[in-house]
Structures are given as C-alpha cells and as structure tokens.
Structure 1
Amino acid sequence: MTTLDPRVPASADTQGATIVGVGMGDGPGPEVMAASTLDGNKVVSSDGEHVGKITDIMLDVRGGRIAYAVLSTGGFLGMGDTLHAIPWSALTLDTDDRCFVLDASAERIRNAPGFDKDQWPSMADTQWGTSVHEYYNRPPYWAATRDVVEERGLDSPL
C-alpha cells in the first residue's frame, strides 16, 4: 500500500487533484476527505486571481470516481452565477492557503463554457464531457481510469 505525501506533487498521469502544502487540519485529510468539506472552497486561477468557489463535487456513481468539481463564478449572493464543470485533475488542493488552484488563467476561466443553475448539462454524456476535458487540456477521467485498469490488469493490486 502506498501512502501519499502531500508535499510531493502527483505525477502527470494521475487523474486525481494534486495536493500541495503541509497544512494539516484536525481529522482526515488531505488525501481522503468528505466532499462536503470542500464545498465553498475558494478557487484561484493559475495567474493568482480569485475566480469563484466550489459549489458541488459530482460523482461518477457507476465508475466510483470523482467526475467534476462545479465552480461558481460571478453573480452576487447566488444570483447571476455561472457554473462551470471542472475536471478534477485540473485542480490542485493547496492545504496551506486552504483553496484550490485551477490550472487555467483567469481569462480562460471567464471564457469557459458554463451553464445556469437551472439548466445543467447531461454530465454523463461523453461527448459533452470530452469537450470539457479538452478545454482544460486533460484526458477524460473515464479514459484515463480505463487505461490504468488495462495497464495493471484486473487482478493487480493498486
């Protein structure tokens, strides 16, 4: 069994969020955390601008993995917000600053395709999901996981 060191960035082929910093709170984490503890976390762009907050973490229930984080940008007191599906692998959890860093500039995030809180896309649609992952230069989470399973074989331990 491998223990993850939060001071060591994940490799490029990892499909999870990278963890940086040495900040540790009480309880579990940062390797395994309740999704609810991440809701409301600030998101900062790669160029250091506060771009929004995490409002939801979407699970691929059948696949048993995180599909997307939902980023809320703009608006005031929940009115006029734009929501964006963010590939989990595009995020870095900064435990020192207690925020996520999104691997995209603030301008790119502002120009990202988004959706309204009352009209969510079909997140199980692989064509839609592929376009989201391509926008953030990430391989689709379902393809990357399949490749790892095929590489290791079904009987190989993680």
Structure 2
Amino acid sequence: MTTVTGHTEAIPASRVIGTKVYNTAGESIGSIEDVMLDKTSNGIMFAVIGFGGFLGIGERYHAIPWSTLDYDKSRGGYVVPFSTEQLKAAPSYSVNELTEDDGQSVRDASFQHYRVEPYWH
C-alpha cells in the first residue's frame, strides 16, 4: 500500500540510513545517520541528521521530526520543508545527548522548534 504522495507505508531503517537530506532551496544539508524509535507508541521519534564535522570528529546531530521528511525520487533523497535559517537555528546534539531522558527532551525541542504537531498527543 502507498501513501497519498505515492510512497510506501513501510521502509526498512537500513534503507534510509545514509540517505541525503535537502532543504527547501534544494541544498544538501546532511544525511540520515539514524532514526530514533519510540517503543511506547511504536513510532519514529525523529530522524537523526548529521551536519558538519570531519570523519565523525566534531559532528553535531539534528533531530528532525520524521513526518516532515518527504522522499524526492529525482534527488534520490529526502526534502524537509525548512529554510536554511530554520535549520541553522535548530538545536544540535552530540550522540550521547540524543538518548538522554529516553530521547524525549530532544524530541520535544525538535517538534517545538519546527512547529510540528506532536504525534504523541
């Protein structure tokens, strides 16, 4: 079965990890490093997008609500509906910070920053 935009409803995490992510201007902003799962709701809390760093040194991660990513076949990657300014102003985290407090504080900050309706309400 497919979604309204023609995408499949199910996709293996291994298929999305490493996929490029673009902003609304078509600029590459990074790639999906991981996805954070919410075991209590059986959903995806957020996509972990890697920005910057060199060979993993100094890299910071952004938590982007999964529902905002839309796959663009022509780019071979996901597009998020956010401007460069919104992305630059977004909170960023170390690997360890992503999982503190079961990821809930990162999730909440991400959904608030991007003004996305929380899936857990």
Task: Give the corresponding residue for 2:2.
Answer: 4
TM superposition shift of 1:47: 1.4
The code of the aligned residue for 2:26 comes to G
Give 1:59's match in structure 2, choosing from 37, 53, 72.
37
Q: Deviations over 1:95-136 (max 9, x none)?
A: 3322010111122212210111243343543x6533321211
The separation in 2 between residues aligned to 1:122 and 1:133, in whole angstroms, is 16
Distance 1:70 1:83 in 2: 6
The superposition leaves residues 128-153 of structure 1 with CA deviations (integer Å, 9 ceiling, x where unpaired) of: 5333212112111211xxxxxxxxxx
> Is the Cα–Cα contact under 8 Å of residues 90 and 136 in structure 1 kept in the other structure?
no
Residue 14 of structure 1 aligns with which residue? Answer: none
Residue in 1 that maps onto 2:62: 84
- Which residue does the alignment assign to 1:13? none
TM-score by length of 1: 0.67
Residue aligned with 1:142, SS: coil
- Check conservation: 1:67, 1:87, Cα contact below 8 A: yes
CA distance, structure 2, for counterparts of residue 77 and residue 89 of structure 1:
29
Q: Report % sequence identity.
A: 34
- Runs of 5+ consecutive residues of structure 1 not aligned to the other structure: 11-18, 20-29, 144-158
How many residue pairs were aligned?
Answer: 120
Aligned to 2:101: 122
Select the structure of larger CA radius of gyration.
1
Helix, strand or coil at the partner of 1:57: strand
1:91 counterpart letter in structure 2: L
CA contact under 8 A between 1:43 and 1:54: conserved in structure 2?
A: yes
Most deviating of 92-101 and 60-69: 92-101
Structure with the higher fraction of residues in helix conformation: 2
Secondary structure of 1:132's partner?
A: helix
**Tell me, what secondary structure is at the counterpart of 1:62?**
coil
User: Residue 129 of structure 1 aligns to which amino acid in structure 2?
Assistant: R
User: Aligned to 2:89, which of 105, 108, 111?
Assistant: 111
Q: CA RMSD in A?
A: 2.0
1:148 counterpart residue number: none
* 1:44 and 1:102 in contact (8 A); partners too: yes
* TM-score (normalizing by structure 2): 0.86
Structure 2 alignment gaps of length 5 or more: none
What one-letter code is carried by the residue in structure 1 that aligns with 2:44? I
Equivalent of 2:13 in 35, 39, 44:
35
Amino acid in structure 2 at the alignment position of 1:107: E
